[in-house]
Amino acid sequence: MLQPKKQKHRKMQKGRSRGRLTETRGLTVSYGDYGIQALSPSWVTSRQIEAARKTIAHAMKREGKVWIRIFPDKPVTKLPPEVTLGGGKGNVEYYVFPVKPGRVLFEVGGVSEKIAREALRLAGHKLPVKTKVIEKQ
């Protein structure tokens, strides 16, 4: 699964999702011919990214090329069960990428339109955001 090799700070504050604001970067298909674009805000975990990647590779029968346009670099901490307050911040459990509407998550190239659209549609079901398939302009 994806996670950073090295970080300046091990733990990070949660922050607030200003979800109705759309993304300003990563809006267009840059590398491949087709991409999957987020329509809603959410945190996408490294497990979900890997599940979507495997689905795309399986649907394309390992032909063509897949580009992952997001990387989970935000650590999420969690305290163990039945622990009282006052023990400090918990350990890092997993990493997420905060997605805003408009961000291109995955791109594919080197396969027919029918195969690419079906692969990206299946991958969208693995993600916690509403998605749509877009093509290169």
pLDDT at residue 135, rounded to an integer: 96
What string of pLDDT tens digits covers the 137 residues of the chain? 899 999 999 999 999 877 667 889 999 999 999 999 999 999 999 999 999 999 999 999 989 999 999 999 999 999 999 999 999 999 999 999 999 999 999 999 999 999 999 999 999 999 999 999 999 98
pLDDT at residue 22, rounded to an integer: 85
Rounded to whole angstroms, how far apart are CA atoms 99 and 26? 11
pLDDT at residue 98, rounded to an integer: 95
pLDDT at residue 21, rounded to an integer: 79
Query: What CATH number does domain 34-77+91-135 carry, 3.90.740.10, 2.60.120.200, 3.40.50.970, 3.90.1170.10?
Result: 3.90.1170.10
Which structure tokens are listed for 67? 């580009």
Which structure tokens are listed for 119? 């692969």
List b or e across 89-124, with b for residues whose CB sees 16 or more CB atoms inside 10 angstroms. eeeeebbbbbbbbbbbbbbbbebeeebbbbbbeebb
pLDDT at residue 82, rounded to an integer: 94
Give the global pTM: 0.94
pLDDT at residue 19, rounded to an integer: 64
